[in-house]
Structure 1
């Protein structure tokens, strides 16, 4: 039986990958999230580690943080997956990437180095990205935009939920509807696999180099 680690940044792609795998009867033994020492936040989304821990608790799946540096990112990923292979008996690692070939090539090389399979449950053609977003919107999961690239999307997108109006409006922008090039990032806070909803309150906008991010000063599991 397949038993996987799932690369997890807290957003819609990882969540949709988890949903697809679960529906296929594949066990996700843990979520793996990279945390570069240089920033002390998750790689890519720049999220607080506490927020990722909340998701793991809400989903009932352990979270494993891969501590790394930008230079040693791949080596740390491989090393930790080897440890998880021994501890949790994982047979593969899954990624939520959609169509960006260099990301897939990297993941496959990492998996090969560990001696496990690389799984891409959402893999599609670029032209199908809008359908991919519609699949998420219709899935029952609740996700909000927490980060935008300032060169392509303005601050007004922050805090928007991925719903029918988001789907309608993102089609009008010159971006990948799924944000595959990092145009926007999301945080999933509820849905079919969540045992508890995550409450997000007191948002504030912070500046991070070329992006703007929504930070929540108050957050926790709904009681």
Structure 2
């Protein structure tokens, strides 16, 4: 018997590889994708990806998808209230497991497990504790394709966003940057690979710099920093 599972889909490479592995495992039946979006911009939270491209991507996955709509700068209380409503609705549809693409952020994993345990939802982490350099190599060898859509300005300038990841990508990263950007150094949009029925077409638009106040709570955002503010470069992708 397969566990009815929903997948927390970010639109990036780690989500794509985690979903790939989950779909190979008969223990789980992935029947829904959920993605948080910023309703002020109609874009994927943290990634800045247009909602239209997210829809094209999930259509190519051929898995039912739904959005979790968040305000521009939600408080932790607001975020948790909205997530509780989402989980309650999924429980009513008999979902028992929730899957994530996290790799080694222990505090975030514990937070997810703790929150979902209160609702009797079990967590699944297909990539957990895998070596991130090996993961990016496996990702490319499987035929996935992905492009950098946002990056922390502490490590990168505007020339980095809009880069399509290839086999030389890891060799050119600054010292201290995780090969998968697991500490929030960068985020990506996965536009082709073995789990998609077709590639997702797009063109590269403008590159924009934005500055934010650093969050006070645990989060795997692009802004991991000890500073009070942080900068992010975004590359707009146009459907």
The answer to whether the superposition gives a TM-score over 0.5 is yes
Instruction: Return the match for 1:206 from 205, 208, 216.
Output: 208
Structure 1 unmatched ranges of 5 or more: none
Structure 2 unmatched ranges of 5 or more: 212-230
202-211 or 148-157: bigger deviation? 202-211
Q: Which residue of 1 aligns with 2:104?
A: 99
1:115 to 2:120 alignment: yes
- Whether the aligned pair in 2 keeps the contact of 1:160 and 1:166 (CA below 8 Å) is no
- Whether the aligned pair in 2 keeps the contact of 1:9 and 1:52 (CA below 8 Å) is no
The Cα shift of 1:23 comes to 1.0
Aligned residues: 214
Q: Which residue of 2 aligns with 1:53?
A: 55
Q: Which residue of 1 aligns with 2:227?
A: none
- Whether the aligned pair in 2 keeps the contact of 1:134 and 1:167 (CA below 8 Å) is no
- Whether the aligned pair in 1 keeps the contact of 2:103 and 2:129 (CA below 8 Å) is yes
- Whether the aligned pair in 2 keeps the contact of 1:41 and 1:48 (CA below 8 Å) is yes
- Whether the aligned pair in 2 keeps the contact of 1:148 and 1:158 (CA below 8 Å) is yes
The Cα shift of 1:113 comes to 2.3
Per the normalisation by structure 1, the TM-score is 0.89
Instruction: Return the match for 1:28 from 21, 27, 30.
Output: 30
In structure 2, what is the Cα distance between the partners aligned to 1:146 and 1:113?
Answer: 34
1:146 to 2:149 alignment: yes
Aligned-residue RMSD, C-alpha: 1.6
Q: Which residue of 2 aligns with 1:187?
A: 189
Instruction: Using CA pairs under 8 Å that are at least 6 residues apart, name the structure with larger relative contact order, 1 or 2.
Output: 2
**Hey, which of these two has a bigger chunk of helix by percent?**
1
- Cα deviation per residue 1:52-93 (whole Å; 9 max; x = unaligned)? 111110111121111234221122112202202213x21111
- Cα deviation per residue 1:132-161 (whole Å; 9 max; x = unaligned)? 222222221111111111111222222222
In structure 1, what is the Cα distance between the partners aligned to 2:119 and 2:41?
Answer: 27
